A and B are shown apart, each in its own frame.
Chain A
């Protein structure tokens, strides 16, 4: 923005300002109405959602699943999607610092005198992209479940069969959740994306014999479950039953 453009802006602005209305009461009326809306939202949220107090802090827990407040979900998800250990510092400090510096210096590198959003497409698109990215990461962070839990409805044929089949399926589901499969595999919305393959529809890809074989003799780094098969064949069968029923 050169000197002529600045003066042009100041001239234009002072005319616009002179054609405006006084701050009080015209702008203040809108501001006060908005303040009432803000208070109404806060009070409604308080009444509907309450102020929940979770169990007392316990540093010795091994079962608690920490999740941040919703407005930190995008940072939380960023930490989840950046997998390689070498890039951890990038996710924790690097990217947030770079974003903050870009935000701080915005008026200095965006020197385009144009102010209308539709006439500065790069800035507008960058802004929309940032908002969408933060929104998407927030959504992913909000839906990211614990790797120790798995909530999947039994498919209709299993539910229809009922009885032993359904019981075996449910036991297998709990077994999967408690055996740590979700630490490396993804099943539907649950679990981590890697290092293992996605198991959401493994039943479609592999017959149950193949699943049982893989469980007993997997490729590293997956741990073998042959001990389970010999010591507790019933639980092992439940596991296989559940996995072989995973289809889209």
Chain B
């Protein structure tokens, strides 16, 4: 089919852009102004904190060649933690830690009545499961790749503490909806603590704030679940990340540095 080329319509004189006269600066558009303001604001902060160096150190540090998808498990765990933190804050806006009926009623209300309530609660509930799985996978990767060895022993220990704290979060979060599963799983969990010789009975009284389940028990679990352990978790994640950035991400154990500069996989 032959191409038919139409002639362009003539442009009226008024719309033809005038060529710039020498000596006049280009007029700054709103986009340039915004860009300028942003840069100067960052400069202002940087001048007073010196943060750009730290950011450059953190973001543009080199990651050894050969790192693969297994190395995203750690950041994925942290991402799950962030998701838990955000959904948790919003759930706390509706939750009432009152065992006499308010707790269950508030969870029922937020699940059934609040817009997107069931969705946010579901994200928190299943996010917990996903986070536990990711912690396990991350740990398995570290174990099988020998990444806990010199010089990263301390980071392994921090990681184990983080694993324990994740399980503590799971355990204390259990009780909060105050349904049957919540109550009985907590009874069993508290009694498991009680089997520690000598200190067990006192430990149980401390956790429950009395010899039986009392009005304070739920408030205790709530405070531990949303203040104490998340605070510790956030602080330790910070330490964990700082050590990773400082010591560098491990290379896969089969990688060997090549003197010529390219890396080959050694066959076992």
Contacts and interface: CB of A to CB of B under 8 A. Distances in A.
Contact of B118 (A18, A31, A51): A51
A129 interface: no
Contacts of B119: 46-47, 51
Contact of B60 (A13, A22, A56, A117): A22
Contact of A18 (B62, B101, B122, B254): B62
A23 B62 contact: yes
B237 to A, nearest CB: 15
Nearest to A26: B63
B24 interface: no
Nearest to B74: A31
A22 to B, nearest CB: 5
Contacts of A47: 119, 122
Interface string A83-97: 000001100110000
A1 interface: yes
Contacts of B76: 31, 34-35, 37-38
A43 B192 contact: no
A217 B241 CA distance: 68
B108 interface: yes
B144 interface: yes
Given A23-B63, A38-B130, A116-B268, A107 B111 contact: no
B205 to A, nearest CB: 17
Interface stretch (B2-10, B37-45, B148-156): B148-156
Given A56-B104, A57-B179, A64-B180, A20 B64 contact: yes
B184 A107 contact: no
A119 interface: yes
A106 B156 CA distance: 8
Contacts of A107: 148-150, 152-153, 156-157
A46 B153 contact: no
A61 to B, nearest CB: 7
B81 to A, nearest CB: 11
Given A22-B59, A68-B188, A42 B83 contact: yes
A114 B145 CA distance: 10
A73 to B, nearest CB: 12
B180 A24 contact: no
A202 B59 CA distance: 68
A116 B140 contact: no
Interface in B54-110: 58-67, 69, 71-73, 75-76, 79-80, 83, 99, 101, 104, 107-108
A144 to B, nearest CB: 14
Interface stretch (B12-20, B27-35, B170-178): B170-178
A114 B59 contact: no
Interface residues of A, number: 75
Interface string A118-152: 11100110010001000000000000000000000
A6 interface: yes
Contacts of B69: 30, 34
Contact of B261 (A13, A19, A64, A127): A19
Contacts of B268: 116, 118-119
A89 B195 CA distance: 6
A116 B107 CA distance: 49
A31 B59 CA distance: 13
Interface of B: 58-67, 69, 71-73, 75-76, 79-80, 83, 99, 101, 104, 107-108, 111, 118-119, 121-123, 125-130, 132-134, 140, 143-153, 156-157, 160, 163-164, 167, 170-171, 174, 177-185, 187-188, 192, 195-197, 213, 248-251, 253-258, 261-263, 268
The 4 closest A-B pairs by CB, nearest first: A115-B146, A46-B122, A66-B184, A57-B183
28 contacts: A6-B150, A15-B257, A16-B64, A19-B258, A19-B263, A20-B251, A23-B61, A23-B62, A27-B67, A30-B71, A34-B73, A35-B75, A38-B83, A39-B79, A42-B127, A47-B122, A50-B122, A53-B177, A56-B180, A57-B178, A66-B187, A69-B181, A71-B170, A106-B148, A107-B149, A113-B149, A127-B140, A131-B140
